[in-house]
């Protein structure tokens, strides 16, 4: 489970002032809106760790391309047994870690065993749940045995949570990440920047055009805008201020690319306590909201509405936005019947522009339906603690950026939704193990309908990926099918 | 002399105007400020919306009017609480002297040394951001200021003949303080309070700008500024209007305070006579 804090700023600076012109290093300066507290993607759920390091400093057995299709990475090929319960990976020959230690099958086993251990702090334990055992056949071959079929395994193994680490260096990964990727970790000045340098010994080093990457941490949208305008930054793959895109589009120095992310932005309702433990109250919230007004006001029209918990660009998408038409009177009536009308409902909003802006509009729309909403803009740490861990909230607004996360609804009553349904759990079990694509898509549609009919949350819009790039920067993904953004293919003029 | 009078009247006019607008907005604003009409965002000034509409289609004039209530309320309540406690402490220090005075004044030093913003952030971290906590923080920074002013002024009054006469007549310290000292230090306290109103309005705007003060949908000049920040390229006037309001309010109370000080300053009064 990972939450998005939107924003990767990319930028490059040709340091021509003092450099010898012919030998000028190409530096790509990428910034993030939010800085992580540690750098180990296998122990922390912060999205920006994956955004910076996954498939750049670290590599996984597989990777995912811009279309979301699985591609080989540290495993150059694999075979799947007839029954789908055994995967045999053949590893690449010439990979090595940045500290000089070699990469082989033992590292894969170490990584998997560490993530699967009982005391593991891996943020996506569900990836490992179907895995029964990992066996080293020879230094270049690993066999992974499953206890049940898992249709998502190869995709999941590409994620930052499944980054391959070495036993020699993993203890310091929180501050000194060591992987096998095309860039090695160079330095981290907290509160300012994180730098990567090209790893010359990487097997594909010849294809990497960038010598150095600088991630700049700029949390404030206005400051990020100023940095772009001053050409201190060349790109901002997750630009947080949609109202300014028109201006960048009109400026010949910049290219604006609007893509999609896996982030479903929801008005999450706490199903475990009153008033949203009843279906009627939850449905009334959906009736009270006017998505087009929220998208217009909070995102300046740059987002696609959703009616359930599945991205509109996905293959199994079902348009359910019409299930609860905007009807203030109806919402008011239900709220009054359910006795919600007089209550004060707390909406705790994390500090991301999409959330704070939507929050104010949700508050106004709920007021029209006769419900007083108290809006609290809270810090990210407070949100993680009080809302996510302690479930101390009535409503919140958050983007769920992990791919294939419809399974969140099967995470049981302890997850912050406070939702549990045997029917849905059974449905999700079926989806997880169904290998036939057509059948799986049918079941995914069924699951979307189920979630929408039960109005577990109110579903707002799909978080767009708003990228602003300086003219001459090429190779950034327009869409974000995963949390990471490979930089090996990025070029600058 | 004439220029000082100008200060006083200009300050009084600005403060009077602001108070009048705030009072009017309690009963009437051109539009409801909680009503969002997003399809009408960023409208230019027109006969129906004198200063246009903001990013959520709200009428800017109505927002500015309603926000003035917020600023004035915070200033009056915060300075009222801080001023009362501070003045009481200062009077006590002056009346009883000795360890009471030492304790109060050292505590005041401590209060001065404590950054107000840090205190506001601490309160927000502990109890969540709210207007009430912003008021508490601003009140807190006012306590040592008023304690010092009150003690200094009271110490002078204690040496006056009529107070000595009262003491000889057997009046207690509490009685003397309430009946004779307090009325005689009222002028510097009122002057100080007027100046502190200006500081409090600025502090409220700063805290709301940082998200630690007024919470949506309560209109606030500081929050309007914060929200207009990324709109600077698109609609700079949305930042300029609340900015001008803050300037006018701070200037108004500042000038009024200065003017009042000049009028009540005994040396100047004597010179004028």
* B230 → closest Cβ in A241, A293, A364: A241
Work out the percent of chain B whose per-residue pLDDT is above 90: 60
Indicate yes or no: CB of A243 within 8 angstroms of CB of B234: yes
Q: How far apart (Å, rounded) are the C-alpha atoms in residues A281 and A269?
A: 10
H/E/C letters for each residue in B37-97?
CHHHCCCCCCCCCCCCECCCCCEHHHHHHHHHHHHHHHHHHHHHHHHHHHHHHHHHHHHHC
Q: Would you say residue B182 lies in a domain?
A: yes
**Cis amide prior to A275 (ω within 30 degrees):** yes
pLDDT of residue B2: 60
Mean predicted confidence (pLDDT) in B185-189: 92
The predicted complex's ipTM stands at 0.77
Cα end-to-end distance, chain B, whole Å = 12
* Contact (Cβ atoms closer than 8 angstroms) between residue A76 and residue A162: no
* A243 → closest Cβ in B36, B217, B231: B231
* Contact (Cβ atoms closer than 8 angstroms) between residue A490 and residue A475: yes
Indicate yes or no: CB of A361 within 8 angstroms of CB of B234: no
Confidence of residue A7 (pLDDT cuts 50, 70, 90): very low
Confidence of residue B269 (pLDDT cuts 50, 70, 90): low
Q: How far apart (Å, rounded) are the C-alpha atoms in residues A175 and A37?
A: 9
| Pairing status of strand A344-349 against strand A395-400 | parallel
Nearest to A90 by CA among A112, A105, A111, A110: A105
pLDDT of residue A36: 86
**Cis amide prior to A424 (ω within 30 degrees):** no
Q: How far apart (Å, rounded) are the C-alpha atoms in residues A177 and A164?
A: 11
Domains of chain B: total: 1
> Where is average pLDDT lowest: A412-421, B116-125, B133-142?
B116-125
Q: Would you say residue B46 lies in a domain?
A: no
Q: Would you say residue B45 lies in a domain?
A: no
Q: Would you say residue B39 lies in a domain?
A: no
Q: What does the longest C-alpha to C-alpha distance in chain A come to?
A: 76
pLDDT of residue A137: 95
Handedness of CA B161, B165, B168, B172 (dihedral sign): negative
Is the per-residue pLDDT at A87 higher than 90? yes
Confidence of residue A5 (pLDDT cuts 50, 70, 90): very low
Indicate yes or no: CB of A364 within 8 angstroms of CB of B232: no
Q: Would you say residue B134 lies in a domain?
A: yes
Mean predicted confidence (pLDDT) in A265-276: 94
Q: Would you say residue B43 lies in a domain?
A: no
Is the per-residue pLDDT at A83 higher than 80? yes
Indicate yes or no: CB of A375 within 8 angstroms of CB of B216: yes
* B36 → closest Cβ in A244, A246, A297: A297
pLDDT tens for each residue of A289-324 = 999 999 999 999 999 999 999 999 888 999 999 999
Angstroms from B201 CA to nearest CA on chain A:
22
Q: Which residues of B touch A296 (CB under 8 A)?
A: 38-39, 41
Q: Which residues of B touch A364 (CB under 8 A)?
A: 34-36, 56, 217
| Pairing status of strand A235-236 against strand A254-269 | unpaired
Confidence of residue A279 (pLDDT cuts 50, 70, 90): very high
Q: How far apart (Å, rounded) are the C-alpha atoms in residues A289 and A358?
A: 11
Mean predicted confidence (pLDDT) in B167-191: 91
Three-class secondary structure of residue A415 per DSSP: coil
Is the per-residue pLDDT at B49 higher than 90? no
Is the per-residue pLDDT at B106 higher than 80? yes
Q: Which residues of B touch A375 (CB under 8 A)?
A: 215-217
Confidence of residue A18 (pLDDT cuts 50, 70, 90): very low
Work out the percent of chain A whose per-residue pLDDT is above 90: 69
A-interface mutation test, from B32, B34, B36, B129, most A Cβ less than 10 A away:
B36
Work out the percent of chain B whose per-residue pLDDT is above 70: 96
Is the per-residue pLDDT at A16 higher than 50? no
* B216 → closest Cβ in A221, A296, A363: A363
* B56 → closest Cβ in A247, A297, A378: A297
* Contact (Cβ atoms closer than 8 angstroms) between residue A76 and residue A92: yes
Is the per-residue pLDDT at B150 higher than 50? yes
Query: Apex CA A6: angle with CA A169 and CA A405, to 5°?
Result: 75
H helix intervals, chain B: 2-27, 60-96, 98-113, 116-127, 131-158, 161-168, 173-176, 182-209, 221-228, 237-264, 266-272
CA B167 to chain CA mean position, Å: 36
Encoded tokens for B30: 């051109």
pLDDT, mean over chain A: 89
CATH of the domain at B257: 1.10.3720.10
Confidence of residue A89 (pLDDT cuts 50, 70, 90): very high
Of A6-10, A285-289, A382-386, B160-164, which one has max mean pLDDT?
Answer: A285-289
Structural domain harbouring B157: 2-24+54-272
pLDDT tens for each residue of A330-357 = 999 999 998 887 778 999 999 888 999 9
pLDDT tens for each residue of A390-441 = 999 999 999 998 888 899 999 989 999 999 999 999 999 999 888 788 999 9
pLDDT of residue B256: 94
Q: Which residues contact B73 (CB under 8 A, 6 or more apart)?
A: none
Q: How far apart (Å, rounded) are the C-alpha atoms in residues A193 and A32?
A: 9
Q: Would you say residue B157 lies in a domain?
A: yes
Is the per-residue pLDDT at A207 higher than 50? yes
Q: Would you say residue B91 lies in a domain?
A: yes
Is the per-residue pLDDT at A458 higher than 90? yes
> Where is average pLDDT lowest: A283-287, A312-316, B122-126, B266-270?
B266-270
Mean predicted confidence (pLDDT) in A199-211: 93
Indicate yes or no: CB of B234 within 8 angstroms of CB of A244: yes
Is the per-residue pLDDT at B158 higher than 50? yes
pLDDT tens for each residue of A229-258 = 999 998 898 888 888 888 899 999 999 999
Angstroms from B166 CA to nearest CA on chain A:
56
Q: Which residues of A touch B217 (CB under 8 A)?
A: 360, 363-364, 375
Indicate yes or no: CB of A364 within 8 angstroms of CB of B35: yes
Mean predicted confidence (pLDDT) in A456-463: 96
Mean predicted confidence (pLDDT) in B24-41: 88
Q: How far apart (Å, rounded) are the C-alpha atoms in residues A112 and A408?
A: 23
pLDDT tens for each residue of B196-221 = 999 999 999 999 998 888 888 889 99
pLDDT, mean over chain B: 89
Q: Which residues of A touch B234 (CB under 8 A)?
A: 243-244, 246-247
A119 burial type by CB count under 10 A (0-12 exposed, 13-18 middle, 19+ buried) = exposed
Indicate yes or no: CB of A222 within 8 angstroms of CB of B230: yes
Work out the percent of chain A whose per-residue pLDDT is above 70: 95
Indicate yes or no: CB of B230 within 8 angstroms of CB of A296: no
| CA trace torsion B49, B52, B56, B59 (10° rounding) | -40
């Amino acid at each position: 489970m990972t939450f998005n804090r939107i924003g990767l700023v990319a930028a490059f600076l040709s340091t021509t002032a003092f450099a010898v012109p012919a030998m000028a290093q190409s530096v790509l300066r990428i910034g993030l809106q939010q800085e992580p507290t540690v750098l180990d993607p296998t122990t922390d759920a912060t999205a920006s760790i994956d955004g910076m390091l996954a498939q750049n400093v670290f590599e996984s057995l597989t990777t995912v391309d811009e279309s979301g299709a699985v591609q080989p990475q540290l495993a150059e090929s694999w075979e799947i047994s007839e029954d789908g319960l055994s995967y045999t990976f053949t590893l690449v020959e010439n990979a090595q870690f940045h500290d000089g230690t070699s990469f082989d099958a033992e590292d894969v086993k170490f990584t998997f065993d560490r993530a699967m251990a009982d005391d593991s702090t891996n943020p996506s334990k569900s990836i490992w749940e179907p895995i029964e055992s990992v066996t080293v056949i020879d230094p270049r071959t690993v066999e992974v045995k499953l206890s049940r079929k898992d249709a998502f395994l190869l995709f999941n193994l590409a994620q930052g949570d499944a980054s391959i680490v070495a036993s020699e260096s993993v203890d310091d990964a929180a501050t000194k990440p060591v992987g096998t990727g095309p860039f090695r970790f160079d330095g981290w000045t907290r509160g300012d920047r994180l730098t990567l340098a090209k790893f010359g010994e990487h097997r594909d080093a010849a294809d990497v055009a960038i010598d150095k990457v600088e991630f700049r941490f700029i949390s404030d949208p206005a400051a990020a805008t100023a940095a772009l305008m001053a050409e201190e930054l060349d790109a901002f793959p997750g630009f947080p201020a949609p109202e300014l895109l028109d201006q960048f589009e009109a400026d010949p120095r910049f290219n604006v690319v609007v893509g999609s992310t896996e982030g479903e932005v929801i008005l999450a309702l706490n199903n475990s306590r009153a008033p949203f433990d009843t279906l009627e109250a939850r449905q009334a919230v959906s009736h009270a909201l006017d998505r087009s007004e929220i998208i217009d006001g909070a995102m300046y029209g740059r987002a696609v509405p959703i009616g359930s918990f599945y991205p509109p660009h996905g293959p199994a998408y079902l348009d359910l936005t019409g299930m609860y038409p905007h009807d203030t009177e109806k919402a008011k009536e239900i709220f009054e019947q359910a006795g919600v009308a007089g209550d004060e409902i707390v909406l705790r909003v994390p500090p991301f522009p999409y959330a704070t802006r939507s929050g104010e509009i949700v508050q106004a729309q709920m007021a029209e339906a006769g419900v007083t909403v108290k809006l609290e803009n809270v810090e990210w740490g407070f949100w993680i603690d009080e809302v996510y861990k302690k479930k101390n909230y009535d409503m919140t607004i958050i983007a769920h950026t992990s791919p294939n996360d419809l399974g969140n609804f099967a995470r049981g009553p302890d997850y912050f939704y406070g939702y549990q349904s045997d029917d849905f759990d059974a449905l999700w079990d079926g989806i997880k193990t169904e290998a036939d694509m057509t059948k799986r898509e049918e079941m995914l549609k069924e699951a979307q309908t189920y979630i929408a009919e039960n109005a577990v949350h109110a579903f707002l819009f799909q978080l767009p990926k708003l990228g602003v790039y300086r003219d001459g920067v090429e190779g950034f993904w327009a869409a974000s099918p995963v949390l990471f953004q490979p930089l090996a293919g990025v070029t600058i003029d | 002399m004439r220029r000082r009078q100008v200060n006083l009247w200009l300050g009084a006019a600005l403060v009077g105007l602001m108070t009048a607008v705030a009072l009017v907005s309690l009963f009437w604003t051109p539009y409801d400020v909680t009503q969002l009409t997003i399809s009408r965002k960023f409208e230019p000034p027109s006969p129906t919306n004198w200063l246009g509409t903001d990013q959520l289609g709200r009428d800017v004039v109505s927002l500015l009017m309603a926000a003035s209530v917020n600023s004035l309320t915070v200033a009056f309540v915060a300075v009222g609480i801080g001023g009362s406690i501070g003045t009481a402490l200062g009077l006590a220090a002056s009346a009883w002297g000795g360890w009471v005075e030492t304790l109060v004044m050292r505590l005041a030093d401590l209060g001065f040394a404590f950054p107000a913003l840090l205190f506001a952030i601490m309160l927000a971290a502990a109890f969540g951001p709210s207007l009430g906590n912003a008021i508490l923080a601003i009140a807190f920074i006012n306590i040592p200021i008023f304690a010092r002013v009150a003690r200094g002024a009271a110490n002078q009054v204690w040496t006056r003949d009529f107070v000595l006469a009262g003491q000889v007549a057997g009046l207690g310290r509490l009685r003397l303080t309430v009946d004779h000292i307090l009325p005689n230090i009222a002028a510097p306290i009122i002057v100080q309070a007027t100046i502190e109103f200006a500081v409090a309005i600025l502090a409220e705007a700063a805290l709301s700008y940082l998200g630690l003060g007024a919470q949506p949908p309560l209109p606030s000049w500081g929050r309007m500024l914060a929200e207009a920040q990324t709109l600077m390229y698109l609609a700079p006037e949305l930042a300029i209007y609340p900015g001008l309001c803050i300037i006018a309010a701070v200037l108004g109370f500042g000038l009024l305070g200065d003017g009042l000080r000049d009028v009540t300053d005994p040396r100047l009064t004597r010179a004028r006579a």
